[in-house]
Amino acid sequence: MDAIAHAFLDPTVRGWYLIGCLALLLLPMMALAVWFHRGIRHSPGGRALMQRQRGARTCAGDARRRRLHAGDGASIMRDINAGRYGQHAKAMMTRVYWFTGAWVVVNAIAFGILIWADEINRVVD
């Protein structure tokens, strides 16, 4: 573990690791969005879901409006879980939930290593 912390003292290693972390933050979500939007259109329920999502309110305005927007999202999630949009949409959303959960854990570990190394390498005056 000391070798990892020592490696982060080098600005080049730290910079490349940070670039990798930022790629890990962005690229999987971009790929997930492309996969989801291409795949969800293959069923009538998925097309209905996308049409409803396009008609949902966007997040702008005051705090009261934002609560309504969150309510729209929660309502859509409940309908998907109830099977209103069919098994294809429900299965895709289940995959999205699992992928997103794994992505959060991996990002926490990746950035956690960076934060840990910063604390180990910090010079105390």
pTM score of the predicted model: 0.79
Domain count, the chain: 1
The token pair at 35 is 């996969």
Let me know how many helices (H) and strands (E) the chain has, helices first. 5, 0
* Segment 39-63, tens digit of pLDDT: 999 999 999 988 888 876 665 666 6
* Segment 19-39, tens digit of pLDDT: 999 999 999 999 999 999 999
Residue-level length of the chain:
125
Residue-number span of the structural domain to which 83 is assigned: 2-121
